[in-house]
Structure 1
Amino acid sequence: MVEIKTDQSIDEMRAAGRVVAQALAAVRDAARVGVSLLELDRVARGVLAEAGAASPFLGYRPHFAPVPFPGVICASVNDAIVHGIPDDRRLRDGDLVSIDCGARLGGWVGDAAVSFTVGRPRPADLRLIGTAEAALAAGVAAAVPGNRIGDIAHAVGSVCRDAGYGIPEDFGGHGIGRSMHEDPGVPNEGRPGRGMKLRPGMVLAIEPMVMAGGRDDYRCDGDGWTLRTVDGSRAAHAEHTVAITADGPSILTTL
């Protein structure tokens, strides 16, 4: 079932989204060579606490997970695609880092992700990140009333495929509201004109994930959470929470 949000509800979701944006900005600012992923998680916890927000990630346990998620951010480095558990690993020069973060405030949830490099960037990593961001922008642009979920999926997937990158099978965006994951699912590849019609008041998390090696398969670490490329190639992830309005798409996870 898809919940259609009121204008007031979207405003409240925007407040939660702003906290997410603040946390991501603080984590990115703190991410330097020698800093551990646990330290980055503590930075995000501080931002959430100061805002009076809770984490929808902490303690989350979907059906596939052997244990509840232990952090407030997903910290995925280099060949990790998504769901990386923040640990005592310290960032090295040239690392590609993807941070996913959520916040629950006033009963509403925001969710967003950003990828960046630490230290001296590799040109190939900058292209990969740029493609994830361009795919996100294309997906957001397609999130207008009258379009369908397939139009978003096609917009995202076309950017990724045209760049020669892989898209992890079975993972994509989702509806969001009072819960982090709601209907409908938002694939990162699909046929235009297919799927649920978009209506004002729908709120979606659109989140392209791209893999430099061009393959679509992946493997899961022994922790039961971290997804990695099978060929060791690097990955990038970008995400925003987006409200569909009569005036066009409105990104809720910005400062």
Structure 2
Amino acid sequence: MEDLEKWITAGDIAREALGKALDLVREGVKLLQLAEELEGYIRRMGAQPAFPVNISVNEIAAHYSPSVDDEAVIPPGAVVKVDVGVHVDGYIADTALTIALSSRHAALVDAARHALREALSTLKAGIRLGEIGSAVERAVRARGFKPISNLSGHSMSRYVLHSGKSVPNVRTSTEERVRVGEVYAIEPFVTEGAGYVVEADYGTIYRVLSVRSTGVRELDSLLRELWRRYRGLPFSERWVYREMGEEGLKGLKRLVKVRRVYLYPVLVEAGRGAVAQFEDTVVITRRGVLNTTRVLDLCRR
């Protein structure tokens, strides 16, 4: 398979970054400090973040990454999801784990971990993607919780985080199948709430949608620079501010308005129930399924 070693290297670095998260996540820690530390580690290892580190707490399910001047801290007894992306020359690893700071949420976290284990044991070339969703849903409901029905895993390709196929977390009738040569992020989301997410009215993560001219010279220049730096991968407003200052942030918001850049809304559990998540990246090879991130190994620490 093309550049398999780069997929593997990205996975190793992502797993190591999550290992650091296990040591750093504590009550009172600033989310900004945690994200900057993990992103810095990825860069020091010779890779790049494939997206900003997501640190989603309690009922926030996904897409929360600290803003430029974020003062939020990890609250007492929190359920903390850390989602890390790494790329090596565009070859991506996407992995996540959940840390419960209270025993009250231990069963929820265990259910998400169990759901990932069941999904991975089901996964093989030729299987229908809907069968993976069925395995996740059975595992989660057997533990007394709900899978989040409108969040899913996804196929990936070089420089493309979501490349077209979805891996459901509930039973579906999709006939799409897993094929040799494909790469997937498998990520069960589990909740004690309503079982689906809604969009908040804010976010800090962006992605270039199109490099088509806006008709405004300075905006086109910014757009080309964002594409040069990040291609089609998500990026943080913090990164833009660090490299381009306040004017870069203003231009970024203008590019969202003219639909050249997409702003990812933070996703919140509809019933405000706590959410847990575990995620691995897998490569489907002729010899079998290669798990590049092996996040469940970290849970044995």
TM-score, reference length from structure 1: 0.83
Higher-helix-fraction structure: 2
CA distance in 2, matches of 1:222, 1:145: 39
Query: For 1:144-183, what aligned pairs fall within 5 Å after superposition?
Result: 144-178=124-158, 179-183=160-164
Residue type of the alignment partner of 1:190: R
Partner of 2:221: none
Task: Give structure 1 regions of 4+ aligned residues with deviation exceeding 4 angstroms.
Answer: none
Deviations 1:116-149 (A, max 9, x none): 123xx223x1111111111111111111123221
Q: Kindly indicate whether residue 111 of structure 2 is the aligned counterpart of residue 131 of structure 1.
A: yes
| 2:164 alignment partner, SS class | strand
**C-alpha distance in 2 between matches for 1:195 and 1:51:** 40
1:75/1:84 contact within 8 Å kept: yes
1:67-107 CA distances to partner (integer Å, 9 max, x unpaired)? Answer: xxxxx211111111111222321123311100111011122
Q: For 1:174, what is the secondary structure of its paired residue?
A: strand
- Give 1:65's aligned residue: none
Equivalent of 2:170 in 189, 213, 219: 189
Q: Which residue does 1:106 correspond to in 2?
A: 89
> Quick check: 1:95 aligned with 2:78?
yes
Query: Does the alignment pair 1:42 with 2:36?
Result: yes
> Which residue among 233, 244, 249 is the counterpart of 2:284?
244
SS across alignment from 2:202: coil
Report the CA distance shift for 1:199/1:218 in structure 2 as closer, same or farther (over 3 A). Answer: closer
Offset at 1:227? 1.5
SS in 2 for 1:195: coil
Is the 1:174–1:184 Cα contact (8 Å) retained in structure 2?
yes
Please say if residues 79 and 229 of structure 1, whose CA atoms lie closer than 8 Å, have aligned partners that are also in contact. yes
Q: Which amino acid aligns with 1:13?
A: W
Q: What CA distance in whole angstroms lies between the structure 1 residues aligned with 2:286 and 2:78? A: 41
Q: CA deviation at 1:226?
A: 1.8
User: Cα 1:229–1:107, aligned 2, differ >3 Å: closer, same or farther?
Assistant: closer
Query: Contact (CA 8 Å) 1:128, 1:212: kept in 2 or not?
Result: yes
RMSD of the alignment, in Å? Answer: 1.8
1:220 aligns with 2:199: yes
Q: Partners of 2:150 and 2:77 in 1: how far apart?
A: 29
Unpaired runs of at least 5, structure 2: 204-264, 296-301
CA–CA distance in structure 2, aligned partners of residues 162 and 115 of structure 1: 20
Which amino acid is the alignment partner of residue 169 of structure 2? Answer: N
How far did residue 191 of structure 1 move? 4.3
- The separation in 2 between residues aligned to 1:209 and 1:161, in whole angstroms, is 12
Amino acid of the structure 1 residue aligned with 2:163: E
Q: Name the structure 1 match of 2:240.
A: none
Letter in 1 for 2:162: H
Alignment map for 1:33-72 (pairs within 5 Å): 33-57=27-51, 72=52
Moved more, 171-180 or 84-93: 84-93
Partner Cα distance (1:113, 1:164) in 2: 22
Structure 2 letter corresponding to 1:17: G
Aligned to 1:211: 191
Question: In structure 1, what is the Cα distance between the partners aligned to 2:179 and 2:46?
Answer: 31
